[in-house]
Amino acid sequence: MPDPRSVPARARAILVCLDIGRAGSADRPEEAASLVESAGADVSSLVTGRRDRPDAATFAGSGKVEEIRQLAREHDAASVVFDHALTAAQIRNLEKALSEGGSPVRVFDRTDLILEIFAQRARSHEGKLQVELARLEHLSTRLVRGWTHLERQRGGLGKTGGPGEKQIELDRRLIGERVKKLKERLRKVARVRDTQRAARARSGVLRVSIVGYTNAGKSTLFNRLSRADAFVADQLFATLDPTTRRLHLGEGAAAIVSDTVGFVRDLPHSLVAAFRSTLEETVQADLLLHVVDFSNPRREEQVDAVNAVLSEIGAAGLPQVVVFNKIDRVEGAAPEIVRDACGKILNIKVSAVTGAGIDGLRDALAEIARDGAPGALAPAA
């Protein structure tokens, strides 16, 4: 089902990043711009500012809305993207105000943006079902009064009886029926996935899930470890569909490694819910390799965002090894395995691109596979 709110390909967009209540993350506008570009649009101008609280009608307030409108005219931008969650009424009010006296301007919020990227990236049957479910559930929250076609339908066959079903109620019912069908199809896919997981669990082989912030280098690390050819790109959410490989780690040691979708700050709850069966690859793991972009100055905030999602899906207590990736981008950084006073592994520094430190990581996984995950690891943060 096509989404009527998908971002037009290579459209010009005005990006709005406001600090609400308190100062936000310094790299938030840069990340938001990457999301816009990943969705297929070009950022023509960035609008920033600070408010104590969101404006109930337009989120940004009348003065800021006028500034955005002028920029949209100046850059001939067809879209305005807010790096915030907006209500349906706010989007409607914004589109009306921004389109006044000129060409129509469409407004998207952060959830719209991430859903659009996921829709573009999904390749497997399950991934497409999950994305469609998330988009429909999100769309159902946008069915508000004020549409031009919300008059009540009359009875058919020329009858002039009482009012029939409102269009908004019809739309909600049709979406609800489609959501129900999608959930049933996903349950069938999940049963197959559960059977595969059970078989892997019975094998007694160490199960490892690679997790981390989007674009931290998870797929590159997965390919380097397993000699696989998972899709790799310097873009956000390049991987949606999980890939699993068996990894031989030497005499008497092996692991089953899964590459998973990347996380991001404020990941929409509808996406987490829709991708729950896929994310359960993480929950069922014996060990999490938490990949962190060592070259990113805001890496601690990204670690916190990943741990928040892990907590939401019930994986917060699993043993973790933090893998600091991209050390090739940091002057003076070298491969290293850091342990605590008891010899438990805390973190490992590697470069998945150059291969530096990968042998050490494989040796660490072999050690964990032979000794058992709980005994070889420091507790998760």
H or E element that contains 215: none
pLDDT at residue 290 in the model: 95
Q: Which domain holds residue 63?
A: 12-108
Q: What angle do CA 212, 217, 373 make, to 5 degrees?
A: 50
Q: At what angle do helices 167-202 and 125-140 cross, to 10 degrees?
A: 140
Contact 111, 233 (CB under 8 A): no
- % of the chain with per-residue pLDDT over 70: 77
For the chain, what is the total number of helices (H) and then of strands (E)? 12, 11
CATH at residue 372? 3.40.50.300
Which residues partner with 16 through β-bridges? 47, 82
Residues 32-88 have pLDDT tens digits of 998 898 888 899 999 999 999 999 999 999 999 999 999 999 999 999 999 999 998
DSSP bridge pairs for 207: 256
Q: Does the residue 127 lie in any domain?
A: no
97: pLDDT confidence band, cut at 50, 70 and 90?
very high
Confirm whether 250 is domain-assigned.
Answer: yes
What pLDDT is attached to residue 274?
Answer: 66
Query: What is the arithmetic mean of pLDDT over 296-317?
Result: 89
* Residue type (1 letter), 60: A
Most confident of the following: 127-131, 147-151, 179-183, 323-327: 323-327
Q: What is the pLDDT of residue 107?
A: 94
Kind plus residue range of the DSSP H or E element containing 50: strand 42-51
Query: Do 215 and 364 share a structural domain?
Result: yes
Number of Cβ within 10 Å of residue 254's Cβ equals: 16
Output the pLDDT for position 1: 44
| Residue 192 φ/ψ, nearest 5 degrees | -65, -45
Q: Is the pLDDT of residue 298 over 70?
A: yes
pLDDT the model gives residue 364:
92
Q: Is the dihedral of CA 234, 239, 245, 251 positive or negative?
A: positive
Instruction: Provide the 3-class DSSP secondary structure of residue 92.
Output: helix
In SS3 terms, 143-193 reads as CCCCCCCCCECCCCCCCCCCCCCEHHHHHHHHHHHHHHHHHHHHHHHHHHH
pLDDT of 143 above 70: no
User: For the residues 276-289, what does the mean pLDDT come to?
Assistant: 78
- Establish if 129 belongs to a structural domain: no
The pTM assigned to this predicted structure is 0.74
Task: Say if 269 falls within a structural domain.
Answer: yes
The verdict on residue 289 lying in a domain is: yes
In a domain, residue 24? The reply is yes
Same domain, residue pair 221 and 334: yes
The torsion of the CA quartet 242, 245, 247, 248, rounded to 10 degrees, works out to 170
Q: Say what the pLDDT of residue 10 is.
A: 64
Last residue of a domain, one of 108, 131, 159: 108
pLDDT of residue 203: 65
User: Which helix or strand (DSSP H or E) is residue 31 part of?
Assistant: helix 28-38
Q: Which residues partner with 54 through β-bridges? A: none
Q: One-letter amino acid identity for 154? A: R
Q: Does position 372 have pLDDT exceeding 90, yes or no?
A: no
Structural domains of the chain, count: 2
| Range with the largest mean pLDDT of 48-52, 197-201, 266-270 | 48-52
3-state DSSP of 330-366:
CCCCCCEEEECCCCCEEEEECCCCCCCCHHHHHHHHH
Among 323, 321, 332, residue whose Cα is nearest residue 351 = 323
In this predicted structure, what is the pLDDT of residue 277? 61
Specify the residue for token string 């896919």: 189
pLDDT at position 182: 87
State the DSSP H helix or E strand holding residue 299, giving kind and residue range, or none if neither. helix 299-312
Model confidence over 216-232: pLDDT tens digits? Answer: 999 899 989 987 665 45
Does 249 fall in a domain?
yes
What does residue 3 show for φ and ψ, rounded to 5 degrees? -95, 120
User: Distance between CA 134 and CA 277 in Å, rounded?
Assistant: 13
pLDDT at 289 over 90: yes
**In this predicted structure, what is the pLDDT of residue 130?**
81
* 221 falls within a domain: yes
pLDDT attached to residue 214: 86
Find the DSSP H helices in 39-159.
Answer: 62-75, 88-99, 110-121, 125-140
* Interval 272-297 mean pLDDT: 82
CATH code of the domain covering residue 19: 3.40.50.11060
The last residue of one of the domains, among 60, 76, 108, is 108
Residue 232 and residue 99 share a domain: no
User: Rounded to whole angstroms, how far apart are CA atoms 126 and 91?
Assistant: 30
Looking at the structure, tell me whether residues 208 and 95 fall in a common domain. Answer: no
Q: What is the CA radius of gyration of the chain?
A: 24
